[in-house]
């Protein structure tokens, strides 16, 4: 691991910790409620804390990898740091935008399928059967959880 890669990992970890801490700080200004009857600030506080812990885990993993890299003998055939995965970032972003545009017009299931299939274009080696299975699971699970379970005002199929 190069110094540049380690710095990027630490910087990313710091951003994640700062975001999680900020989210937790803002959420703590809302009523937390009780464990059996959580208030509007409870879940954002928990998510903020989990995000901050994730940032610490990223930093610890980077620290561990840099220690192992210093202890291991140098290999002449190892490539440099990987390039940024623009294809993956763009495909996920476009997939989320497609979901936002389609969910009211085509329904939750169609929007979820569009999201999963467009986001999968970011992977160079993809198995279309696996992508279809993931899309089906996400559509069924999301419909049961969000629409029927939590009462999200979105149609499963077709426009509202």
Handedness of CA 78, 10, 50, 85 (dihedral sign): negative
- The pTM score is 0.54
pLDDT in tens, the chain (160 residues): 555 566 788 888 899 999 999 999 999 999 888 877 888 888 898 999 999 999 898 888 887 777 666 555 554 444 445 567 788 889 999 999 999 999 999 999 999 999 999 999 988 888 889 999 999 999 999 999 888 888 888 888 887 6
Q: Residue 8: its pLDDT value, please?
A: 80
pLDDT at 81: 55
Quick one: which of 147, 137, 101, 141 has its CA closest to 116? 137
Please report the pLDDT score of residue 77 as a whole number.
45
C-alpha radius of gyration, the chain, whole number: 21
């Amino acid at each position: 691991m190069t110094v540049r890669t380690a710095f990027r990992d630490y910087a990313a970890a710091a951003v994640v910790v700062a975001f999680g801490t900020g989210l937790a700080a803002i959420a703590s200004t809302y009523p937390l409620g009780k464990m059996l009857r959580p208030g509007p600030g409870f879940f954002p506080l928990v998510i903020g804390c989990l995000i901050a812990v994730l940032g610490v885990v990223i930093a610890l993993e980077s620290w561990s990898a840099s220690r192992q890299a210093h202890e291991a003998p140098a290999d002449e055939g190892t490539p440099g740091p990987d390039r940024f995965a623009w294809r993956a970032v763009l495909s996920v972003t476009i997939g989320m935008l497609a979901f936002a545009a389609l969910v009211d017009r085509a329904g939750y299931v169609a929007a979820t399928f569009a999201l999963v299939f467009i986001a999968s274009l970011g992977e160079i080696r993809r198995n279309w059967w696996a992508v279809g299975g993931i899309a089906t699971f996400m559509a069924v699970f999301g419909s049961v959880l969000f629409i029927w379970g939590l009462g999200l005002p979105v149609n499963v199929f077709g426009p509202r």
